[in-house]
Structure 1
Amino acid sequence: MSSENNPTIVLVHGAFADSSSWNGVVANLRAQGYSVVAAANPLRGLASDAAYVGSVVDSIDGPVVLAGHSYGGSVITVAAAGKTNVTALVYIAAFIPAEGESALELTAKFPGSTLGPTTSPAQFPLPGGDSGTELYIRQDEFPAQFAADVAPGTAALMAATQRPVALTALQEPAAAAAWRNIPAFALLTTDDKNIPVQAQRFMAERASAQVTEVAASHAVSVSAPDAVTEVILSAVQK
Structure 2
Amino acid sequence: MHSILRTLLLGTSFALAASAAARAAESKPTIILVHGAFAESSSWDGVLAQLGRDGYHAIAAANPLRGVKSDAQSVSSLIASTEGPIVLVGHSYGGPVITEAANGKSKVKALVYVAAFAPEPGESSASLSVKFPGSTLDKALLSVPLPEGGQDLYIRPEKFRAQFAADLPAAEVRLMAATQRPIKAAALAEPSGAASWKTIPSYVIYGSDDRNIPAAVMKFMAERAHAVKTVEIDGASHALMVSHPREVASLIEDAAKAR
Same fold (TM over 0.5): yes
Counterpart Cα distance in 1 of 2:34 and 2:192: 16
Matches within 5 A, 1:226-237: 226-237=246-257
With the length of structure 1 as denominator, give the TM-score of the two structures.
Answer: 0.97
Check whether the contact 2:28–2:56 (CA below 8 A) recurs between aligned residues.
yes
Give the secondary structure class of the aligned counterpart of 1:136.
strand
Structure 1: state its 5+ residue gaps: none
Matches within 5 A, 1:173-184: 173-184=191-202
With the length of structure 2 as denominator, give the TM-score of the two structures.
Answer: 0.89
1:37 is matched with 59
Give yes or no for the alignment of 1:15 onto 2:37.
Answer: yes
Give the secondary structure class of the aligned counterpart of 1:187.
strand
Counterpart Cα distance in 2 of 1:116 and 1:73: 19
Matches within 5 A, 1:158-173: 158-173=176-191
1:155 is matched with 173
2:16 is matched with none
1:206 is matched with 224
Q: Which amino acid aligns with 1:229?
A: A
Check whether the contact 2:206–2:238 (CA below 8 A) recurs between aligned residues.
no
Structure 2: state its 5+ residue gaps: 1-20
- State the Cα deviation string for residues 88-128 of structure 1 (Å, max 9, x = none): 000000100011100000001100000100001001233xx
2:153 is matched with 135
- State the Cα deviation string for residues 64-111 of structure 1 (Å, max 9, x = none): 000000000110011100001000000000100011100000001100
Give the secondary structure class of the aligned counterpart of 1:104.
helix
2:242 is matched with 222
Give yes or no for the alignment of 1:73 onto 2:123.
Answer: no
> How big is the shift at 1:190?
0.6
Count matched residues: 234
Give yes or no for the alignment of 1:186 onto 2:204.
Answer: yes
Counterpart Cα distance in 1 of 2:55 and 2:214: 34
- After TM superposition, the runs of 4+ consecutive aligned structure 1 residues lying more than 2 A away are none
- State the Cα deviation string for residues 154-181 of structure 1 (Å, max 9, x = none): 1110000000000000000101211011
Counterpart Cα distance in 1 of 2:40 and 2:145: 20
> How big is the shift at 1:197?
0.4
- State the Cα deviation string for residues 183-205 of structure 1 (Å, max 9, x = none): 00000211100000000011111
Q: Which amino acid aligns with 2:96?
A: S
Give yes or no for the alignment of 1:52 onto 2:104.
Answer: no
CA RMSD between the two structures? 0.9
2:117 is matched with 95
Check whether the contact 2:206–2:240 (CA below 8 A) recurs between aligned residues.
no
Q: Which amino acid aligns with 2:144?
A: A
Q: Which amino acid aligns with 1:213?
A: E
> How big is the shift at 1:3?
2.9
Give the secondary structure class of the aligned counterpart of 1:191.
coil
Give the secondary structure class of the aligned counterpart of 1:141.
helix
- State the Cα deviation string for residues 130-149 of structure 1 (Å, max 9, x = none): x1111000001001110000
> How big is the shift at 1:44?
0.3
Counterpart Cα distance in 2 of 1:22 and 1:108: 26
